[in-house]
Structure 1
Amino acid sequence: MTKFGYKQSDSDHTLFLKRQKGRITCLIIYVDDIIITGDDKEEIGILKKQLSCEFEMKDLGYLKYFLGIEVLRSKGCIFINQRKYILHLLAETGMIDCKPADTPIIAHHGLQMIKGGKLAYREQYQRVVRKLIYLAHTRPDNLYAVGIVSRFMHQPQIHHTGAVMRILRYLKGTSS
């Protein structure tokens, strides 16, 4: 990408940027997927031609779904959501048919480590909480609750799992 005049981002090494004539073109790479965007249509066309000379590639058009994030367009707007990701997570955890909760966490929850408290299955707890952390990119309404349950990743107890299940129940009712 540097040979085409792009600079690698310091904050995300899979992101490459090119600024010229007051416009920007962005390219992000994930394994064998590439997303190209920006406000310089001419540069985007040139980049696609350059890349197709270097690699076998297929232009799939506008982005629809990437890494669990669904991208929807309307005139002048782009909406992102993770509805499919949520439904997959609910199915994976056996919560697809659960009763929805009104809030992601109980007010004045008081979650803490209890001396002698029964331990939860740590690997499962960590896997679900990691997915909830990723989901927080498009669901800031869950950020506080996910921050609370993530405090117990090193040694989750059964009552912490209950708090995670409540977040999942909240997602059930707000997946759209």
Structure 2
Amino acid sequence: MIKGTSLHQEDSNPFHDPILYRQLVGRLLYLTDTRPGLSFAIQQLSQFMASPTINHYKAMTRVLIYIKGTVGQGLLYLGSSTLQIKGFSDSDWASCPDTRRSISAYCMYLGDSLVSWKCKKQNTVSRSFSEAEYRALAIASCEIQ
């Protein structure tokens, strides 16, 4: 997706075939198991499965073009990696223009191999950037435990 792209519920005309949109998003969701870099974009696209618009479909075609150009990329798990757990978290305060909820993300590494990741809208509206970051950190802490 283009950096700074903000998708809205009613940002253009409705897409003519919502079933096709749902099928494509469903297939992309399975791809995030080996391509965690796509998680955020696919999370954004999956919010609009009930009533997709033409702009949502255009954003999805950009993701599909990216996937086509990066077929050989994915996760690599090395057997010689150390058994050290590392975790990272981040949030984007009030980034959803429709609900004003923040988006949290985390990734967990075992040695140099990515073993767990998630990108999801927070359940509640955060009042500040710090609160959104603390919520993301709490979610990541639960995952690492």
Q: Give the TM-score range, shorter chain.
A: 0.3 to 0.5
Normalising by structure 1, what TM-score? 0.39
Normalising by structure 2, what TM-score? 0.47
Q: Which has the higher contact order (CA 8 A, sep 6+)?
A: 2
